[in-house]
Amino acid sequence: MHYSVSLIGSGNVAWHLSQALEKAGHQVREIYSRTPGHAERVAEKLYDAQVVTSLDFSESESDVFLLCVSDDAIGRVADELILPDEDAVVCHTSGTQPLDLLAGREHAGVFYPLQTFTSNRRLDLTTVPFCIESTDQHTEQVLVGIAQSISRTVYLVDAQERKMLHVGAVFACNFTNHLLALSRHLLAQEGLEFGLLKPLVRETFEKALEAADPATVQTGPAVREDYQVIHAHLDYLQRTPHWQALYKSITDSIVLLSRRG
Amino acid sequence: MHYSVSLIGSGNVAWHLSQALEKAGHQVREIYSRTPGHAERVAEKLYDAQVVTSLDFSESESDVFLLCVSDDAIGRVADELILPDEDAVVCHTSGTQPLDLLAGREHAGVFYPLQTFTSNRRLDLTTVPFCIESTDQHTEQVLVGIAQSISRTVYLVDAQERKMLHVGAVFACNFTNHLLALSRHLLAQEGLEFGLLKPLVRETFEKALEAADPATVQTGPAVREDYQVIHAHLDYLQRTPHWQALYKSITDSIVLLSRRG
């Protein structure tokens, strides 16, 4: 089934989702932004979407209203949003925010694509897991239908599971990215290029993602409890006590997890 | 120029290097292991390598002796090793151990492939950086020659740089792998599959490796200093205080790095 959709917000999530929606046969009617230029950047990739700057959608013919705004704007935007009627489905796309930010709506949901979005970067949305939560069966049916038209991987998750997914994603993505950033800084201190480590990083990640459990392919001095190397590294990091402390925390955590098995 | 090479050790590094050496036209003459079965596993992939169980290589016709043994065995093996003559080049393949473990040899070096090796897993060694350190010009010439016949990326590094590369690799690879393992455990607590996060992990790493500096593509609550989300996550992790502490350490480190710019 095809739906008419309006997107509230004009960032990277709106940029990617709107194009995927059209490709799947849905009609994107409106793109809202407080800053019309931003909405135009999204709309220009679409067949016939209108740029709007008002949250009054009482005249809109859309069935579904997707809030693709930052977490802290969801509540405010939801409060100002005027829907055409009570049949309209409204959902936000956040991994962390509760469904009850949309309280008072007849048909509310969360439509959370578990991915990081960068504009102008090609992404295969068919492999992106969509996590759906909803107040009622009609909303669930609509959101699951849309998600399945875009992606092969659609999950119904409750609030608790969605929160855990987000915490897990922070560890697996935000934190790992930071460790790569730190590593680049460390190398730069010696005038070494980060590129030197890239083949090793690629192989590490491929192995970790192929393993049923990344713990089983853990290598390095910590899992071997090779304290000679660990102490040499800690000495080396004395110039940067903060990174030394971080090295110690993660090393302890590896030892703990590997002893637990 | 092609060399005759003997490998001391029969683990994953020996398994990969020996095949790459033959492919590049060098002759692998001997594979040493205390456990002949292990050496046979390596030798069976080779044209005509002999399995040996003695470190007396006085009759060997090899020019180069590559120690592919664990870090803590290098010193002992180097002490027992009898080379055919003083022209022979001997080197170890460790990222962390000092060159002077081979003290007393005329031509000694480090031949460090900056990669993680798993046996039976295909690896494109041409993209693996080889880091060379040596006591003298002859050794440097031999080791650089061999490295360049295997890989497109060969670096001369001093002891300090090699140590930093290893510390950087621990952050970028061992520690990131651990974070993936933790993330899997977190999801498992809610009965969620780690596979759900894999598309996000892949995209995160591709972005980080394409960026000149992974710090510039950092996302998540820490870099936004979104303490509402951070505190919700810390609350969530109360059941596992160790992971909560780790979450806090890495979050602090992200904030610090992003404020520094």
Complex prediction ipTM: 0.88
- In whole angstroms, give the CA distance from residue A159 to residue A182: 33
Test A217 with B177 for CB contact under 8 angstroms. yes
- Predicted pLDDT at A123: 83
Q: Nearest CA of chain B to the CA of A181: how many Å?
A: 5
Q: State the amino acid at position A60 in one-letter form.
A: S
A50: its two tokens: 């209108």
- In whole angstroms, give the CA distance from residue B152 to residue A195: 13
| Averaged pLDDT for residues A161-183 | 95
Q: Are strands A107-113 and B89-92 parallel, antiparallel or unpaired?
A: unpaired
Nearest CA in chain B to A122: B203
Q: By three-state DSSP, how is residue B190 classified? A: coil
When scoring B178, B193, B243 by the number of chain A Cβ atoms within 10 A, the one with the most, hence best to mutate, is B178
Q: Spell out which residues of chain A touch residue B174, defining contact as CB-CB under 8 Å.
A: 218-223, 254
Contact status, residue A31 vs residue A14, Cβ threshold 8 Å? yes
A147: its two tokens: 């998600």
Test A253 with B242 for CB contact under 8 angstroms. yes
The one-character DSSP state at A82 is B
Closest Cβ opposite residue B165 in set A187, A209, A245? A187
B178: its two tokens: 């651990």
Contact status, residue A112 vs residue B200, Cβ threshold 8 Å? no
Q: What are the E-state strand segments in chain A?
A: 4-8, 27-32, 50-52, 64-67, 89-92, 107-113, 130-134, 154-156
Per the prediction, chain B carries an average pLDDT of 94
A58: Cβ–Cβ under 8 A, 6 or more apart, which residues? Answer: A82, A83, A84
| Averaged pLDDT for residues B29-48 | 94
- Predicted pLDDT at A175: 98
List the 43-62 stretch of A: residues with Cβ below 8 A of B. none
| Topology classification of domain B161-260 | N-(1-d-carboxylethyl)-l-norvaline Dehydrogenase; domain 2 (1.10.1040)
**CB of B98 within 8 Å of any CB in chain A?**
no
Q: Spell out which residues of chain A touch residue B12, defining contact as CB-CB under 8 Å.
A: none
Question: Of all residues in chain A, what percent carry a pLDDT higher than 70?
Answer: 99
**Any idea where the domains of chain B sit in the sequence?**
4-157, 161-260
Residue pLDDT, tens place only, B70-83: 988 999 999 999 99
Q: Is the pLDDT of residue A121 over 90?
A: no
> Measuring CA to CA, which residue among B168, B171, B166 is closest to residue A194?
B168
- In whole angstroms, give the CA distance from residue A62 to residue A27: 9
Q: Is the pLDDT of residue A45 over 80?
A: yes
Q: Is the pLDDT of residue B260 over 90?
A: no
Per the prediction, chain A carries an average pLDDT of 94
Q: Which residues of A33-58 are buried (b: 16+ CB within 10 A; e: fewer)?
A: beeeebbebbbeebeebebbeebebe
Intrachain domains A4-157 and A161-260 with the same fold: no
Q: Which residue has the tokens 């932004």?
A: A33
Test B253 with A246 for CB contact under 8 angstroms. yes
- Predicted pLDDT at B64: 98
Residue pLDDT, tens place only, B184-239: 999 999 999 999 999 999 999 999 999 989 999 999 999 999 998 999 999 999 99
pLDDT band for B124, please (50, 70, 90 cuts). confident
Cα dihedral sign, B197-A186-B250-B175: positive
| Averaged pLDDT for residues A235-241 | 92
List the 176-195 stretch of B: residues with Cβ below 8 A of A. 176-187, 189-190, 192, 194
B79: its two tokens: 């002490």
**CB of A73 within 8 Å of any CB in chain B?**
no
**CB of B73 within 8 Å of any CB in chain A?**
no
B213: Cβ–Cβ under 8 A, 6 or more apart, which residues? Answer: A181, A184, A194
| Averaged pLDDT for residues B14-26 | 96
Residue pLDDT, tens place only, A68-88: 999 889 999 999 999 999 999
- Please measure the distance between the N-terminal and C-terminal CA atoms of chain A and give it in whole angstroms: 48
Residue pLDDT, tens place only, B132-149: 999 999 999 999 999 999
Q: Where are the alpha helices (DSSP H) in A123-237?
A: 137-150, 159-169, 176-189, 198-210, 227-236
Q: Which CATH architecture has domain B4-157?
A: 3-Layer(aba) Sandwich (3.40)
Test B190 with A161 for CB contact under 8 angstroms. yes
Test B164 with A187 for CB contact under 8 angstroms. yes
